Amino acid sequence: MNSFTNFRQHSYKRLFILVAASLPAFAALAQEHEPANPRVLGQRLPSQELAAASFGSETSAGLLASASPVAPAQLRYEQPTDQLLLLSSNTPDSLKAKPMAPAEGFHNAVRFDVGGVLASNFANAAMGNSGALFPFLASYERQVGARFSVVGEGLLNGGSYSERKAGVSVQGRYYFRPQRGTQALAGFYLAPAVAFRSVKLSGRYEPTQQRRFVGAGALLGWQGSFKSGSRFFLDVSAGLMNWQHVGQDKFKASPYGGYQTEQKAYYDTHQTDFDGRLGLGFRF
């Protein structure tokens, strides 16, 4: 009897130990099949804390991110691309972004140089000569690009009474205005230039002599108007030109006689000289 009782007690102890050892396994299995509760999605579960402690902070961060309610919310409010395109097509025209306004339609310009008239008469009076000088320097400008233009100039009746000048020149202008500028042919510019001059030298007792020169240089200037959208503008520039004598001179005897002697022109003694413009113009 005692041996049966001892056997039964020993069997109960072994069964109790077996059940106690099996409880954690049943608890883990039940947790894996338990449905997710949205109220506790943002809370850390004991199993996640044990995993975070075992595998480090990186694994813990991954488990927290998987249990965070932010990701489902982002997926819940994402819209397909075709729906976004449909919404944009239904946007009223008043709310759509408008394209940048193009530059004003002034692609041509004409100008007259008043600075040459003032400078010539000032120099003539300083030399003690009487009378007024009226050199005529006019130009036409044509826009050929967003910042580029070509200028053609013509000069008549330039110089002084004893040294008359006439000729032509060509400029290529590059404007340094902003890319989003709303005015064409306006702003600061750099203008390389080439020119031709015919100089007629005459004196009372000397034969008339005609000399020819070619020049090259560059001007730096500003062109613009003081009122937005105005067709009238001011052109101010300054630079240097270098002149070289070319060709054979032509002589014409003086009616008062005299000897045929070679005279020197201004460009002979000032091969590199200042050049500038002060012009008033009209754009169209």
pLDDT tens-digit series, residues 174-205 = 999 755 555 789 999 999 999 999 999 987 67
Q: Are residues 133 and 262 in the same domain?
A: yes
Q: Which of 95, 125, 140 is the C-terminal boundary of a domain?
A: 95
Q: Are residues 91 and 138 in the same domain?
A: no
What is the gyration radius of the CA atoms in the chain, in angstroms? 47
Question: Cα-flanking dihedrals φ and ψ of residue 256, to 5°?
Answer: -95, 10
Average pLDDT over residues 14-37: 56
Most confident residue range from 73-77, 130-134, 236-240: 236-240
Domain containing residue 8: 2-95
| Residue 103 maps to a domain | no
The DSSP element (H or E) to which 200 belongs, if any, is strand 187-201
3-state secondary structure at position 33: coil
Q: What is the pLDDT of residue 190?
A: 97
Q: How many domains does the chain have?
A: 2
| Residue 100 maps to a domain | no
Nearest to 122 by CA among 133, 113, 112, 114: 133
pLDDT reading at 76 higher than 50: no
Give the CA angle between residues 132, 138, 139 to the nearest 5°. Answer: 160
CA pseudo-torsion sign 223, 197, 152, 177: negative
Q: Which of 51, 69, 95 is the C-terminal boundary of a domain?
A: 95
Q: Are residues 82 and 37 in the same domain?
A: yes
Q: Are residues 42 and 125 in the same domain?
A: no
Q: Are residues 59 and 141 in the same domain?
A: no
Burial class (CB in 10 A: 0-12, 13-18, 19+), 111: buried
List, in order, residues 6 or more apart from 164 with CB less than 8 Å away: 157, 158, 199, 200, 202
Q: Which of 73, 95, 117 is the C-terminal boundary of a domain?
A: 95
Q: What is the CATH number of the domain that holds 198?
A: 2.40.160
Q: Are residues 186 and 214 in the same domain?
A: yes
Q: Are residues 25 and 127 in the same domain?
A: no
Q: What is the pLDDT of residue 65?
A: 44
Q: Which has the higher per-residue pLDDT, 31 or 100?
A: 31
Q: Are residues 50 and 112 in the same domain?
A: no
